[in-house]
Chain A
């Protein structure tokens, strides 16, 4: 069991409250996943700049003078904002690869949580309310975000086993369910040169989507082929720079509820997660169909594409 929440804002006046609303939704899902929690938030961006969100178990040592040390290795400005065990490093967009390479040398204990222009991922072990407080998620603003509360079944309770997982620039994935062919798929992907860090099943799902997109698929196409290649139970919610998507496996025994108003589209593993959203009494509330890929985007209208089981 795990809990997923997602909120995609159509009404820009709600953007300053995104973190606050997502935190309430996340905390409501504590009894679906009390061992770790995480949030992916699409906040502000600066043209020409990109963000790396990194994590360290010893932030006092690793984040001290990290910006100074990175400036020696990458071109242009580097700024760093530390939030508990995580830090968001901002740099010129063309310097991300150089910064990642430098990090492995100068701070080998630092893990990259996410990269992109607007995406930041924060995740840790602990109760959702504590995790949200450590990173001050309530104070975050943004256009859309996804949260996850984990009850581990397939692998250890660790920071790196928590969700969301970064699948590409400004892309992330959260999962409720369990994949049963993750070991064989991990071996297959590793043989193809895909880096997979942990024994976690969802990380394999995330790596699979990343690999498909590197091979030229769109995110929607990658999600459709996931319905063929992933065996097991899943409700996936994915975040992209300008929207979010939902797909459930054909059996669809993992719960999912969606709500839409003129102001937002919201996702919850249970209706309980949505009850305090503004105007929920009059929202269109429904369960996403199995084996159907849904997308909402700020640039295009919503789409739902059925993929035969």
Chain B
């Protein structure tokens, strides 16, 4: 295992070292200590490596991630996993604003709560939150799934496209064009799989699905495959 002291060695050196890893690397497990809320930890990774960050992180941890598994053993700051393409981010504590903004793929798991604008403009990422999420979550969400085991704040899914939202608890209010939808067998099956993969504590049958009523944008069923 590679160990990296962020305070002593610096952020630029850390990200250079992580960015230098390829899919053939044998340095597959990394540990980062003294994170102390620093910004932009482990951004732009593109290798199937595992990065364990001890402590809390600041802005944009794991941004643009491809392939890597980033495990934050603390809470994560604003914009964590922004524009992630693939891979996995696990946050043991809480996540701040706009978690997984514009993210195209991969999985983000939050063991605590996520703040406002969780999954804003999500474009294919799956986000699973054990606790609650804040207001304006999944605003303009285009694709992907937001699974919330707790409650959702105001204006969930405002102006959303084809992203799906599964909430176990209450929703304070739904945003414009976001409506409650029926749970079909494929949704139960999806939840079964993602709950197992995320390691959160929930039963698929307890969730309610929400999504776009497709009245705010020009939805044409012939284009459904584009989402």
Chain A residues within CB distance 8 Å of chain B: 251-253, 255, 257, 270-272, 274-275, 285-287, 290, 309
Contact = CB atoms under 8 A, between A and B. Distances in A.
Interface in B100-144: 115-117, 134-136
B96 interface: yes
Contact of A255 (B38, B96, B135, B136): B96
A271 B74 CA distance: 11
Contact of A287 (B36, B56, B96): B96
B153 to A, nearest CB: 9
Interface of B: 36-38, 56, 58-59, 75, 77-78, 93-94, 96-97, 115-117, 134-136, 154
A176 B77 CA distance: 17
Contacts of B77: 255, 270-271
Nearest to B155: A309
27 contacts: A251-B136, A252-B97, A252-B135, A253-B116, A253-B117, A255-B96, A255-B97, A257-B96, A270-B37, A270-B58, A270-B59, A270-B77, A271-B37, A271-B56, A271-B77, A272-B36, A272-B38, A272-B58, A274-B37, A275-B37, A275-B56, A285-B93, A286-B94, A287-B94, A287-B115, A290-B116, A309-B154
A270 B40 CA distance: 14
A257 B95 CA distance: 11
Contacts of A255: 77-78, 96-97
Contacts, number: 41
A59 B135 CA distance: 49
B154 A253 contact: no
A275 B97 contact: no
Contacts of B96: 255, 257, 287
B104 to A, nearest CB: 23
A286 B77 CA distance: 11
A271 B58 contact: yes
A252 B75 contact: no
Contacts of A272: 36-38, 58
A2 to B, nearest CB: 15
Nearest to A274: B37
A29 to B, nearest CB: 11
Given A270-B59, A270-B77, 6 more contacts: A252-B135, A253-B117, A255-B77, A272-B37, A287-B94, A290-B134
Kindly name the residue among B37, B97, B134 whose own CB sees the greatest number of chain A CB atoms within 10 A: B37
Nearest to B115: A287
Specify which of B38, B93, B135 lies most central, judged by the most chain A CB atoms within 10 Å of its CB.
B135
Give 8 nearest A-B pairs by CB, closest first: A272-B37, A271-B37, A275-B36, A271-B56, A287-B115, A275-B37, A272-B58, A270-B58
Contacts of A286: 94
A274 B75 CA distance: 13
B133 to A, nearest CB: 12
B97 A253 contact: yes
Given A272-B37, A272-B38, A272-B58, A285 B97 contact: no
A309 B116 CA distance: 14
A108 to B, nearest CB: 46
B116 A252 contact: yes
B117 to A, nearest CB: 8
Contacts of A251: 136
Nearest to A289: B134
A75 B226 CA distance: 81
Contacts of B154: 309
Q: Which of A257, A271, A274, A287 has the most CB of B within 10 A?
A: A271
Nearest to A287: B115
B75 A271 contact: yes
A286 B113 CA distance: 10
A251 B120 CA distance: 14
A288 to B, nearest CB: 10
Nearest to A273: B37
Contacts of B56: 271, 275, 285
A290 to B, nearest CB: 7
B57 to A, nearest CB: 8
A285 B96 CA distance: 12
Contacts of A287: 94, 96, 115
A290 B135 contact: yes
Contacts of B134: 290
A270 B38 CA distance: 10
A253 B117 CA distance: 9
Contacts of A270: 37, 58-59, 77
